[in-house]
Amino acid sequence: MLPAFLIPENEYRADGESEPVELGPAAGKLLKLTLVIHRIIEQESLDVEVWGSPDGQDWGTKPLLAFPQKFYCGTYCLLLDLSKQPEIRFLKGKWKMNRWGRGTPKPLFGFCLFAEECSPELVAVAKR
């Protein structure tokens, strides 16, 4: 049920995916997804995707949404409109990391992904 972390705040060193989060009453609505990256090391990249499922088992073959590749700390927001996909009842996050250059070959990112239902004002603006 939203609001909720799709990817809990933590430091990650490898690719992964989160546990499914049930949308509850937010199913079929406009959602605001906030990616917060608070720790990185140089020469690495992070790719974050949001996947949807009607039953928490079948996640399909492609994500509902993908953030542009990230290289820096910051707060990044995207909107996910589920009004045309009311069958989606669960969301989860997946991430991939890449590291290149000198130093340790293991990537390190401190980040989280938060999902919340949009305010009525933002929904009205998005429909314009």
Q: What CATH number is given to the structural domain containing 75?
A: 2.60.120.1110
Instruction: Quote the number of domains for the chain.
Output: 1
Domain of residue 112, residue span: 4-126
Tell me how far apart the alpha carbons of residues 12 and 4 are, in angstroms, rounded to a whole number.
19
Residue of 123 and 16 predicted with greater confidence: 16
Count of CB atoms situated within 10 Å of the CB of 5: 16
DSSP for residue 79: E
% the chain with pLDDT above 70? 92
* Residue 101 pLDDT class (50, 70, 90 cuts): confident
